[in-house]
Copies of this chain bind each other. A is one copy, B any other.
Amino acid sequence: MASLVKKFGGTSVGTVERIQAVAKKLAKAKEAGDDQVVVVSAMSGETNRLVAMAKEVMPATVDVRELDVLLSTGEQVTIALLCMALKTLGCDARSYTGAQVRILTDSSHSKARIVSIDTDKITTDLEKGRIVVVAGFQGVDAEGDITTLGRGGSDTSAVALAAALGSDECQIFTDVDGVYTTDPRVESKARRLDRITFEEMLEMASLGSKVLQIRAVEFAGKYNVPLRVLSSFEEGEGTLITTDDEENEMEQALVSGIAFNRDEAQITITNIADQPGTAYSILGPIADLNVEVDMIVQNAGVDGTTDFTFTVHRDEYQRVLDFLVARQKELGAATVTGNDQIVKVSIVGVGMRSHAGIASRMFRALSEKGINLRMITTSEIKISVVIDEDYLELGVRSLHDEFGLADAAVTEA
């Protein structure tokens, strides 16, 4: 008998029929003896509908306290409907809002952090054989005000509940059947991973494999809650995200996956003074524009000047470029140029830690296809390169081959 927290996202509960399908899945697992706590999101489209109304009423700034009161109704609708569907199938079930199981958070409306969870009601219900259904994404602060955890916060709710309850696993049901070595739309040989570490998942997620919320993965890693990504619509084992088990490290693949991101654009500033404060003088004002900067590369200069290159989201590209061009003189830069026809491709794997030569294998594989590298950054378990957009598919496929990701068997250097 397993003790499980199962989370179903907005698409999985997007219609009454889908809610009924989720109920059937849960009823089946109940028969098999699982203790189940279920976390659900708002039905897909519902949050957008509510946000649209809020914007109509309050076009300028939105009141975050009241927005949380508004948005939290989305999940509340789903928990009630799911419990009704479960009862129709003869399963005893009970719904709780975030406030009712006292998912206590700080008071940062719209991006609250979970402080504690009162599991008394849940454990009592589980002991009575009930399926417990909890509204994701929401909590309550010390004053009793409703808070929300921000978009995708339901994943975080699920992990927090699994941690608080000491569940065997936190299962995230979504519209994909697991985490893949890369995007199957780009490389048809992409393979579902049976296991991946929290660290790898973090790098994969932040690089564009949008299966799980980064915060939930961090949270799961911190509290060592085994996390599994599965399909709501198909049977299967999904992908288990777990700690980097030292014993298994020898079996670990060198590279677990290839991530990529098409949403980036690159900006380069040449021949600026190579002195303390240069990076800040460029990036400080950009942060003030509320623009997030992703990759940052600075080459050591030879003549007292240096070149500085970074990437931003494509939607911000023109605004940032215009801003820096206007400040070119002030920065003392020779040129300010940019390119929004680029992509970032990354290889991710904890195996990199203990194996040398992976970077050179990556660069060789790309150069053999005539792909030019415009930027390179590395971290302990990830190497990222920026290449011309046209070469994305070719680059991903050649790296997928190079590191043997299509094979089910693990590859050793």
Contacts and interface: CB of A to CB of B under 8 A. Distances in A.
Nearest to A58: B84
Contacts of A83: 63, 66, 69
Contacts of A79: 66, 69
Interface string A1-32: 00000000000000010011000000000000
Given A66-B80, A70-B81, A57 B95 contact: no
A78 to B, nearest CB: 9
A67 B85 CA distance: 12
Contact of A81 (B16, B53, B88, B94): B53
A89 to B, nearest CB: 10
A165 interface: no
Contact of A77 (B19, B70, B85, B95): B70
Contacts of A60: 88
Contacts of A95: 65-66, 69
Contacts of A245: none
A343 interface: no
B70 A80 contact: yes
A104 B9 CA distance: 33
A283 B324 CA distance: 87
Contact of A73 (B59, B65, B73): B73
A63 B84 CA distance: 6
Which of A20, A57, A73 has its CB near the most chain B CB atoms (within 10 A)? A57
Contacts of A80: 54, 66-67, 69-70
Interface string A109-149: 00000000000000000000000000000000000111000
A50 interface: yes
A79 B62 CA distance: 15
Contacts of A58: 84-85, 87-88
Nearest to A99: B99
Nearest to A52: B16
A22 to B, nearest CB: 11
Contacts of A66: 79-81, 83-84, 87, 95
Which of A67, A69, A146 has its CB near the most chain B CB atoms (within 10 A)? A69
A76 interface: yes
Contacts of A266: none
A84 B19 contact: no
A137 to B, nearest CB: 14
A377 interface: no
A391 B357 CA distance: 99
A246 interface: no
Q: Sorted from nearest, which 4 A-B pairs have the closest CB atoms?
A: A70-B80, A73-B73, A69-B80, A58-B84
Interface of A: 16, 19-20, 50, 53-54, 56-60, 62-63, 65-67, 69-70, 72-73, 76-77, 79-81, 83-85, 87-88, 94-95, 97, 99-100, 144-146
21 contacts: A16-B53, A16-B56, A16-B57, A53-B81, A57-B84, A58-B85, A58-B87, A63-B83, A63-B87, A65-B95, A66-B79, A66-B80, A69-B79, A69-B95, A70-B76, A70-B77, A70-B81, A73-B73, A73-B77, A100-B144, A100-B146
